[in-house]
């Protein structure tokens, strides 16, 4: 019996892709029901095969993808990042949720970062936002916005102008138009604002940092994150909307309702309420979420 268990453990696929498959049921437990777990798992596995390959001659990982190596170096951090993406219902390895390598004590590890499109997706999912506008402004663009006078910014530049023609980044703005037609607060950030945000970001100047590789997207993300403070994005908002819709339906179908009221369609919100509670634990060996359950390092033939 002992030998059988040992053989099974030794044969278990401890590669990053194999770990995703092992914990697929655990990810499915936290994914919103509108996201197909099987599709999400395939996206997570495919994300490991993107990006740069290690091309340094003599490197034991020569020819492998950096993300694959980073995930294998610290499976616990990798799986925790995937859990965070799953809890939010975002696609890992995309502009919704970045999986990026970073160096920790000289070794590559995975860092999970919610992208600007992910933050926008969460706004839409809350149910109150009709559209979100987020744009960077360059030094040669025409830009005008006076708070209290203009409803939204006026932003123009030559059609199909190249970045060199438009000049360097000087600012970014974002706002949302709500389903009732109202416009949210307009968020504007200048270079000083971006510098402060970047300075507070871990490893922002690393060669692997999205601040270095995707500066425009990070400017947009900074503005969109500030915008989230001014629009409903929480599960509590959605629960209140669902409660209000249910109450309206109860009144419309009650014994005292006027004729025809029961045929009125309530303004229900599509989708499911997503729990905003932070994920603080990983899946245990039984597929649940127990304390200190993530593997800390890759252990070929080990007990994970």
Could you give the 3-state DSSP secondary structure of residue 185?
coil
> pLDDT band at 105, cuts 50/70/90?
confident
In a domain, 218, yes or no: yes
> pLDDT band at 290, cuts 50/70/90?
very low
**Angstrom distance (rounded) from CA 174 to CA 135:** 7
pLDDT digits (tens, 9 = 90+) for 172-200: 999 999 999 999 999 999 999 999 999 99
Chain CA centroid to CA 37, Å: 16
- Residue 136 sits in the same domain as residue 193: yes
In a domain, 155, yes or no: yes
When the pLDDT of each residue in the chain is averaged and rounded to a whole number, the result is 78
**Nearest Cα to Cα of residue 80 among 65, 66, 97, 94:** 97
- Residue 153 sits in the same domain as residue 100: no
Among 96, 114, 132, where does a domain finish?
Answer: 114
In terms of pLDDT, which residue wins out, 281 or 76? 76
Boundaries of domain holding 29: 2-114
- Residue 152 sits in the same domain as residue 84: no
CA atoms within 13 A on the CB side of 269: 23
- Residue 185 sits in the same domain as residue 150: yes
In a domain, 196, yes or no: yes
In a domain, 292, yes or no: no
* Chain position carrying tokens 């109202």: 182
Tokens for 304? 């994970």
The predicted structure's pLDDT at residue 281: 37
Among 230, 263, 296, where does a domain finish?
Answer: 230
- Residue 127 sits in the same domain as residue 211: yes
The predicted structure's pLDDT at residue 256: 52
**Contact of 40 with 82, CB cutoff 8 Å:** no
* Chain position carrying tokens 């994005």: 233
Tell which phi-psi region holds residue 168, choosing left (phi > 0), alpha (psi between -120 and 50) or beta.
beta
In a domain, 297, yes or no: no
pLDDT digits (tens, 9 = 90+) for 153-178: 999 999 999 999 999 999 999 999 99
- Residue 92 sits in the same domain as residue 173: no
Tell which phi-psi region holds residue 31, choosing left (phi > 0), alpha (psi between -120 and 50) or beta.
beta
In a domain, 239, yes or no: no
Could you give the 3-state DSSP secondary structure of residue 290?
strand
Number of domains within the chain: 2
**Angstrom distance (rounded) from CA 268 to CA 246:** 8
Strand order in the sheet with 169-178: 129-138, 169-178, 187-190
- Residue 110 sits in the same domain as residue 125: no
In a domain, 266, yes or no: no
Tokens for 53? 């390959």
Threshold 0.75, pTM exceeds: no
What is the mean predicted confidence (pLDDT) over 219-234?
88
In a domain, 134, yes or no: yes
Chain CA centroid to CA 117, Å: 7
Specify which of 57-66, 117-126, 129-138, 231-240 reaches the highest per-range mean pLDDT: 129-138
Tell which phi-psi region holds residue 63, choosing left (phi > 0), alpha (psi between -120 and 50) or beta.
left
- Residue 224 sits in the same domain as residue 130: yes
Among 230, 253, 273, where does a domain finish?
Answer: 230
From residue 151, alpha-carbon distances to 29, 148, 175, 217 in Å are 42, 7, 10, 25
DSSP 61-129: TTTSBHHHHHHHH-HHHHHHHHHHHHHHT--BTSSSEEEEEEEETTEEEEEEEE-HHHHHHHHHHHS-E
- Residue 188 sits in the same domain as residue 136: yes
- Residue 122 sits in the same domain as residue 224: yes
Chain CA centroid to CA 287, Å: 23
- Residue 68 sits in the same domain as residue 6: yes
- Residue 133 sits in the same domain as residue 58: no
């Amino acid at each position: 019996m002992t030998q059988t268990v040992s053989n099974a453990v030794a044969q278990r696929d401890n590669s990053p892709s194999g770990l995703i498959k092992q914990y697929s049921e655990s990810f499915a437990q936290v994914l919103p029901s509108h996201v197909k777990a099987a599709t999400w798992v395939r996206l997570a596995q495919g994300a490991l095969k993107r990006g740069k390959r290690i091309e340094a001659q003599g490197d034991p990982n020569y020819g492998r993808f950096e993300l694959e190596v980073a995930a294998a170096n610290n499976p616990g951090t990798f799986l925790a990042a995937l859990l965070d993406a799953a809890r939010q219902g975002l696609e890992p390895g995309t502009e919704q949720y970045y999986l990026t390598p970073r160096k920790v004590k000289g070794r590559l590890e995975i860092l999970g970062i919610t992208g600007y499109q992910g933050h926008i997706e969460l706004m839409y999912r809350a149910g109150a936002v009709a559209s979100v506008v987020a744009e960077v402004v360059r030094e040669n663009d025409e830009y005008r916005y006076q708070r209290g006078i203009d409803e939204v910014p006026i932003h123009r530049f030559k059609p199909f102008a190249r970045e060199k023609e438009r000049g360097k980044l000087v600012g970014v703005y974002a706002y949302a138009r709500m389903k009732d037609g109202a416009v949210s607060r307009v968020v504007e950030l200048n270079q000083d604002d971006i510098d402060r945000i970047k300075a507070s970001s871990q490893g922002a100047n690393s060669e692997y940092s999205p601040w270095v590789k995707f500066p425009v997207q990070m400017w947009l993300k900074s503005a969109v994150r500030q915008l989230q403070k001014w629009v409903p994005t929480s599960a509590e908002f959605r629960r209140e909307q669902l409660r209000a819709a249910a109450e309206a339906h109860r009144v419309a179908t009650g014994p005292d309702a006027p004729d025809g009221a029961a045929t009125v369609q309530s303004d229900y919100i599509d989708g499911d309420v997503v729990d905003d509670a932070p994920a603080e634990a990983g899946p245990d060996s039984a597929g649940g979420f127990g304390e200190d359950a993530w593997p800390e390092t890759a252990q070929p033939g080990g007990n994970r």
